[in-house]
């Protein structure tokens, strides 16, 4: 039964192109010269979690999570669900009728999610940065940014950014070509990069203890994920005269180099203008700051399908779909540890190198040429 199914499959693959050849004039699939494509991408990516970073409440509740009037203004949710534009390209040359070499690549525009909130000169509304106080039995706590109790006014800015891109170098060898149907094997090198950042900055003006003095605090969580690996795959094309259908399945196997850069700064300026700066923020302290490097072996699948419509002998319009998945990626929100020891006696917050899977998928439209 299994052997019979295989025979049927082979007959179908061989017969379908012949049907197209009977209906449409046969167009010989390219086996010499150069080829190239340039396409617009509209890509969606997996959403990313951001922990609670800003709260507000009545003055008595101090913006502490769990208190009756506390509300989370930013965070405790996933971000990045809107599609972004990008582009992809592919260029190559046939060295022989069966052997070609090419280079391809893609990029997706930065995906930014930003937040800004400011109090008035009297500190209204109350703004706070929540954390878990390790020194107080891991209870919820907060750092005030503004306080309508006339202790101070302030503002907060949060910027998140995610970027994706990659390039591959490959050779292709034609295993089967019967005029309207071609089947190629691919092998080469794949590089991809995913960056993901969260920057938090606050500005506080003292209204009570040293009126006019200020405190500027910043936390930076910058992640970079670089994949280096070999690439193997399969490419199939079926021609129906003026229409060609193509699909490919590629797998990259290699090392994902994950780099986390975490830093914090605090600058205090008194009312006389004298200032002092510390290399610590609120969530980026000595215990988790610095550059952290990890490596993970990763398998990266890349799937694509495309339809081409010929408008002249060497020019085709294209539309298609592509999907890429990475099994190990550092994302900024996953590296933010809200557990803090204000006394500095215990090593909190921590860097735990929390990785997660990540994917992107989208639709394409462009041109394909050969000459």
- Taking only the tens place, the pLDDT of each residue in 166-175 is 999 999 999 9
Q: How far is CA 3 from CA 7, 176, 250, 357, in A?
A: 6, 21, 27, 38
In the numeric block, the tokens 């507000």 are attached to 56
In the numeric block, the tokens 């990069």 are attached to 193
Asked if 355 and 329 touch (Cβ cutoff 8 Å), the reply is yes
Q: How far is CA 76 from CA 49, 136, 142, 238, 256, in A?
A: 7, 22, 15, 48, 28
Asked if 87 and 39 touch (Cβ cutoff 8 Å), the reply is yes
Q: What is the pLDDT of residue 30?
A: 61
SS3 (DSSP) at 323: strand
Output the CA torsion sign for 305, 306, 307, 313.
negative
Q: What is the pLDDT of residue 31?
A: 66
Q: What is the pLDDT of residue 179?
A: 76
CA torsion 95→320→361→114, rounded to 10°? 110
- What is the DSSP annotation of 58-72? -GGGTT-TTSTT-EE
- What is the DSSP annotation of 203-216? EEEESSSSTT-EEE
CA nearest 247: which of 13, 73, 79? Answer: 13
Tokens standing for 152? 């101070």
Tokens standing for 50? 């951001």
Q: What is the DSSP letter of 147?
A: B
d(CA 202, CA 158): 9
Q: Which residues contact 43 (CB under 8 A, 6 or more apart)?
A: 83, 84, 85, 86, 108, 164, 360, 361, 362
Secondary structure percentages of the chain, helix, strand, coil, to 5: 10, 65, 25
Q: What is the pLDDT of residue 178?
A: 86
Neighbour count for residue 68 (Cβ, 10 Å): 8
Kind plus residue range of the DSSP H or E element containing 11: helix 2-23
Phi-psi region of 311 (alpha: psi -120 to 50; beta: other; left: phi over 0): alpha
Q: What is the pLDDT of residue 151?
A: 81
Q: Which residues contact 212 (CB under 8 A, 6 or more apart)?
A: 205, 206, 271
User: In order of start, what are the domains of the chain with their CATH numbers?
Assistant: 27-370 (2.40.128.100)
Block means of pLDDT (10 residues each) for the chain, length 371 residues? 44 42 48 90 97 97 98 97 96 94 96 97 96 97 90 95 98 91 96 98 94 96 98 96 96 98 98 96 98 97 98 94 98 98 95 97 96 83
Neighbour count for residue 354 (Cβ, 10 Å): 13
């Amino acid at each position: 039964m299994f052997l019979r199914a295989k025979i049927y499959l082979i007959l179908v693959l061989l017969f379908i192109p012949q049907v197209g050849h009977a209906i449409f004039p046969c167009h010989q699939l390219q086996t010499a010269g150069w080829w190239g494509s340039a396409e617009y991408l509209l890509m969606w990516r997996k959403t990313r979690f951001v922990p609670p970073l800003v709260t507000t409440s009545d003055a008595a509740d101090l913006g502490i999570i769990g208190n009756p009037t506390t509300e989370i203004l930013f965070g405790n949710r996933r971000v990045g669900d809107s599609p972004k534009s990008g582009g992809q390209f592919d260029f190559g040359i046939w060295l022989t009728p069966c052997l070609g070499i090419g280079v391809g690549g893609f990029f997706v525009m930065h995906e930014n999610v930003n937040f800004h909130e400011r109090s008035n000169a009297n500190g209204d509304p109350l703004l706070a940065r929540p954390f878990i106080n390790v020194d107080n039995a891991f209870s919820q706590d907060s750092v005030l940014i503004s306080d309508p109790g006339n202790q101070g006014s302030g503002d907060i800015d949060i910027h998140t950014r995610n970027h994706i891109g990659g390039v591959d170098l490959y050779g292709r060898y034609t295993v089967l070509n019967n005029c309207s149907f071609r089947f190629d094997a691919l092998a080469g090198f794949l590089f991809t990069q995913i960056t993901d950042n969260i920057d938090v900055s606050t500005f506080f003006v003292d209204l009570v203890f040293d009126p006019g003095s200020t405190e500027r605090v910043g936390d930076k969580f910058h992640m970079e994920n670089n994949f280096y690996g070999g690439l193997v795959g399969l490419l199939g094309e079926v021609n129906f005269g003026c229409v060609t259908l193509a699909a490919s399945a590629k797998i990259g196997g290699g090392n994902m180099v994950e780099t986390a850069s975490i830093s914090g700064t605090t600058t205090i300026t008194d009312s006389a203008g004298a200032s002092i700066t510390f290399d610590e923020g609120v969530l980026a302290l000595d215990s988790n700051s610095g550059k952290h490097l990890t490596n993970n072996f990763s398998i990266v699948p890349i799937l694509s399908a495309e339809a081409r419509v010929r408008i002249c002998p060497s020019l085709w319009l294209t539309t298609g779909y592509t999907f890429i998945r990475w099994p190990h990626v550092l994302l900024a929100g996953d590296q933010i540890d809200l557990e803090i020891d204000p006394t500095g006696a215990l090593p909190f917050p921590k860097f735990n190198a929390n990785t997660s899977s990540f994917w992107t998928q989208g639709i394409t439209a462009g041109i394909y040429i050969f000459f």
